[in-house]
Amino acid sequence: MKKIKPFLLLVILHAAVIVIALALLWRQPSEHRHDNEVIVVIPIEGMITMGRGAMARGESVDEIVEAIDHATDDDNVKAIVLKINSPGGSVGAVQAIHAALLRFRKKGKHIVSTFGDVAASGGYYVACAGDKIVSYPGTLTGSIG
């Protein structure tokens, strides 16, 4: 009889544990699985200014505010993750996004802001509406105001 190698035995045991865990999770009633909880990811890239297609991804500030307001009204949405890569922008556009985020938080929901290469000025201000900020060590960030 052939002896099973320790690495192969470890792989088989891990696979068995994963299969058992998945089977147990699958059998849980839906009220314990939280399938209806949603996290919305909203990218904010480029200059934050009013107007159609003003930002790097072609969306308008109005569309971003609308997405935040929709998430605010949706009871399944529990959190927003902001993916910010912006040097800032116009005061009005930044304040519109910031105000929408504050309405979202007022409902007891959470916001995590993440920074890409740059999150300065208005990009930083938008992030401050959240609960936490996660940044790369080399991200260029800061604000005068």
State pLDDT tens for residues 7-38.
676 777 777 777 777 666 655 555 554 568 88
65-123 residue pLDDT tens = 999 999 999 999 999 999 999 999 899 999 999 999 999 999 999 999 999 999 999 99
Report the alpha-carbon distance of residue 60 to residue 96 in Å, rounded: 11
Give the pLDDT score at 50. Answer: 85
- Higher pLDDT among residues 41 and 3, named by residue: 41
The per-residue pLDDT for range 39-55, each reduced to its tens digit, is: 899 999 999 988 766 56
> 3-state DSSP call for residue 9?
helix
**DSSP letters along 52-113, please?**
TT-STTS--HHHHHHHHHHHHH-TTEEEEEEEEEE--B-HHHHHHHHHHHHHHHHTT-EEEE
